[in-house]
Structure 1
Amino acid sequence: MNSRKLSTFLIIFVISVAISSHVRVEATRVLGEDFAEANHLETYSSVYEKAKFTMSCWLQRLASGPSPRGPGH
């Protein structure tokens, strides 16, 4: 009886996966045409520069030299 329940569950699972794999979902938000323009990189260049500056500050704060020897190294 247990193997019968297991096989029934397995068949139902395979059928539900097969059905759900064929479902297509349309996009809920469509990108505007102006997003794809070539000058969108110029708009966000300040964000890129700020991220680059922040990363350089973080890297400067890292300790230099060899790591200390001890447990876990």
Structure 2
Amino acid sequence: MRVAAALSEHPLATQAVGEVVGQVLEELGTPPDLAVLVVSRAHGGAMEDIARVVRRVVNPRVLMGSVAAGVLGGAQ
């Protein structure tokens, strides 16, 4: 089973999703069966747009998404 995780701290949702999608695609190489998308409240208003980009570019069979009060990842 291959797993990839990515985190962006960019304040603009469009830039953040681009960074994360790029990192995940680089690690996986092929579309995953499942993608779990967690965004902070700061990007919560853009969740539909972010999910649309992830579906189109990453192309997972299943996409689960959530907005959280805080997001941990990487060295955090």
TM-score bucket of the superposed structures, by smaller chain: under 0.3
More helix by share: 1
The structure having more radius of gyration, on CA atoms, is 1
Higher relative contact order (CA 8 A, sep 6+): 2
More strand by share: 2
TM-score by length of 1: 0.24
TM-score by length of 2: 0.23
